[in-house]
Amino acid sequence: MFNQLYVELKTEMASAAVGGLPTEGDIREQMLHMWIHWLRWATSCPEKRRTLALLGVSDDITLESRQTASQMTAGVAKILERSRENGPMRDAPLGFVAALTNALAEATIDFIIRDPANADKHGMAGFEALWRIVA
């Protein structure tokens, strides 16, 4: 049951992040779209975010479930891959870049939740930091 929930939540988060992605836009525009929609999902579904975070560090989640979730988040990985292809993170393992991106997103989400009046400001500050890291 935990494994199924983990895959479902990862899929939901990834679908929210890349849903409606501007296919004609440049990579920065696509990355910003993904970022904004990821933050929106996480801040509007805090219980799902917490559950996903707990399941992500659980020993009960199997390698098979993690691999399935990875396949479901392939759209997010593709955007990360494209955004870093000429940047300082181009030679870093994609998993490392994804972990940095997630850590920055988590910090940004925490600030948005604590200070919703400045949600847009925090969201853009987090994105600009991410863009400087990867691109």
Q: What percent of the chain has pLDDT over 90?
A: 98
Across the range 49-54, mean pLDDT stands at 96
Across the range 95-102, mean pLDDT stands at 94
**Per-residue pLDDT band at 23 (split at 50, 70, 90):** confident
Six token digits for residue 2: 């935990």
Across the range 47-66, mean pLDDT stands at 96
Indicate the domain borders of the chain. 2-134
Across the range 100-109, mean pLDDT stands at 96
Residue 103 in this model has a pLDDT that exceeds 90: yes
Find, among 45, 6, 4, 38, the residue nearest to 19 by Cα: 38
Say yes or no: domain 2-134 is CATH 3.40.50.1100: no
- Give pLDDT, residue 29: 96
The pTM (predicted TM-score) of the whole model is: 0.92
Is the CB of residue 52 less than 8 Å from the CB of residue 13? yes
Burial of residue 98, with CB atoms counted within 10 A of its CB: 0-12 exposed, 13-18 middle, 19 or more buried: middle
Across the range 75-85, mean pLDDT stands at 95
- Give pLDDT, residue 108: 98
